[in-house]
Amino acid sequence: MATLNLDHKIITSCRAIARDIANDVQDMIEKHTTTSVERATLRMLGIDGVDPFDVPYVNVITSHLTKVGELSLGVSHYMAHAIKDTKFSPQEIAEEVSKGNLDLSKYTHLGKPDFQVLTKYYQEVFTKIDESTNLRNAWIKSTTEKTTPLKYVIVATGNIYEDIKQAVSAAELGADVIAVIRSTGQSLLDFVPFGATTEGFGGTFATQENFRLMRKALDDVSKKLGRYVRLVNYASGLCMPEIATMGAIERLDMMLNDSLYGIIFRDINMKRTFIDQYFSRLLSAYSKITINTGEDNYLTTSDAFEHAHTVLASQFINEQFAKLAKMEEKYMGLGHAFEIDPAVENSFLYELSQALMAREIFPKAPLKYMPPTKHMTGDIFMGTIQNALFNIATVTSHQSIHLLGMMTEAIHTPFVSDRALALNNANYIEKAFKDFGNEISFKKDGIIQKRAEETLQNAHNLLVTIQKEGMFETLKMGRFAGISRNEFGGKGLDGVFKKHQDYLNPVMDELIKRLEVTK
């Protein structure tokens, strides 16, 4: 593929500055924990299910410790003492606490427990995750690897059983990746619903059972088609670490897991989000789950032509957060989008420039390219043309993950027929333009090259500003997407705790140890 001959000194400088920005935030992360990290830790100890009032047992434990204990000590402190004292399993301890038969506060002022008693419980869960990871790897290895972008489509009926029908249909028409859109507002729930669900607005609730059901359905159609169909859900919101844990166990292949999206677009407290994303990415890195970041969303609220550099700056920062979580570049699905107003002269050249620039700067990353949404209207014929141009840019610039655009994007949740037309469009262009990107070169000092150079320089300037301000002040100033957030505002701040001097989390320590060994 032809390159844009970008200045690699500027790219190197961008990475160094982004590393400083991420390290500054990491210092805060290391000193804190959250209720959601602690609940994920309990899930890694094998705790599952809900009490008679449908409250997840992991929430029962953290709520109990918030009221009568010190969650800043970490759930591992309490579980280790309780196991040694009662001889119960973590699941039995959770059930006894729920019934009011066990008060964990009596362990608060005891010394350091024997954390070894937890080992067999989290090792069992690690074994499940290992089995899932190995099965995925073997399956992908046994099928022909695609050299064109993975075609990614969504299902969002609200009913997992209807989602399964639509997902299977999409796979049979050529989809490589199925994303189950999460029910509207689930990111703001501070618990994970339990079991299979059949009602949801704008999407389907993310639950472990729903993950299992869809995984089974996609495995069945994968066998029929002779190729592995990937599954996606959302490790974001107030339960980010827990959903990452469930996804690792149930063999999801990709998870939307951005370090900034929840802060900017869901007003989740920034400390909570940064801390949660670290645990989530450690687990995704270990499980070899490809994360998808959310930079594309910036362009839904700010102008894609004027603020393209904010996407690139965020990609550099997200890359460094992922590296701090010991994630390999081949699992960093950095996001961007085809969102310039089609009324802009030469808009396609600017879009192609952005896509080529991202590919050149992040050559090993499985870039996720998002379709037109902001400037889609009720004119489905114009929408089809916009999506066709997007598909051409995708194939030409060798994107990795290709979220298909729907001609009815601005009208309603897509019908099965709309998805079929989108797949037909993408399938045709995938063949017609397969090697187009390898056959062309770009004019020196032409529109495409100059646009990429300008965007890179502006991203560098923004990163310098963020480095001076600090990430928290940058978010307060609304430099991403034009939306201002406050360090002490947002949902979930009450679930952030400064770690006690005796805090230990053997599950996180084991994750880090295993990742360091595999490196």
d(CA 238, CA 37) in angstroms, rounded, equals 10
At residue 415, the pLDDT reads 79
Q: Which residues, other chains included, contact 324 with Cβ-Cβ below 8 Å and sequence gap of 6+?
A: 22, 23, 26, 278
CA proximity to 326, closest of 81, 516, 65, 64: 516
CB-based contact 204:157 (threshold 8 Å): yes
The span from the CA of 14 to the CA of 5, in Å, is 16
Count CB-CB contacts under 10 A for residue 7: 12
Contact present, 156 and 203 (Cβ < 8 Å) = yes
Bridge-based pairing of strands 177-180 and 150-155 is parallel
pLDDT of residue 1: 75
Q: What domains are there in the chain, each with its CATH number?
A: 1-30+293-488 (3.20.20.440)
Query: Per residue in 102-137, pLDDT tens?
Result: 999 999 999 999 999 999 999 999 999 999 999 999
- The pLDDT value given to residue 409: 86
**CB-hemisphere CA count at 13 Å for 244?**
32
Contact by Cβ (8 Å): 339, 296: yes
pLDDT for res 519: 60
Q: 98 with 253: CB under 8 angstroms?
A: no
Tally Cβ neighbours within 10 Å of residue 198. 14
List all residues 6 or more positions away from 202 whose beta carbon is below 8 Å from its beta carbon. 156, 158, 181, 183, 184, 413
DSSP codes of every residue in 375-389? T--S-HHHHHHHHHH
Tell me which residue has tokens 């019908």.
415
Classify residue 142 by its DSSP letter: T
Contact 330, 285 (CB under 8 A): no
The residues that are catalytic are 261, 296, 368
Both tokens of 92, joined, read 């039995």
How far is residue 310's CA from residue 113's CA, in Å, rounded to a whole number?
A: 47
Cβ neighbours for 215, distance < 8 A, ≥ 6 positions apart: 231, 250, 251, 252
Q: Are 58 and 84 in contact (CB under 8 A)?
A: no
- pLDDT for the residue numbered 144: 80
3-class secondary structure, 230: strand
Taking every pair of Cα atoms in the chain, the longest distance, rounded to a whole number of angstroms, is 75
As given in the structure block, the two tokens for residue 200 are 């949801």
Low-confidence ranges of the chain (pLDDT < 70): 519
Per-residue CA distances from 285 to 254, 317, 330, 363 (Å): 11, 17, 10, 18
Q: Which residues contact 47 (CB under 8 A, 6 or more apart)?
A: 57, 58, 61, 90, 91, 94
DSSP 292: E
- What residues are paired with 182 via a beta bridge? 204
With CA atoms as reference, report the closest residue to 95 among 125, 41, 55. Answer: 55
For residues 32 and 25, is the Cβ–Cβ distance under 8 A?
no
Q: Which amino acid is at 166?
A: Q
- Concatenated DSSP letters for 158-198? S-HHHHHHHHHHHHHTT-SEEEEPBPTTGGG-SS---S---
Q: DSSP code of 399?
A: -
Bridge partners for 234 per DSSP: 256
Q: To which residue do tokens 């594309």 refer?
A: 296
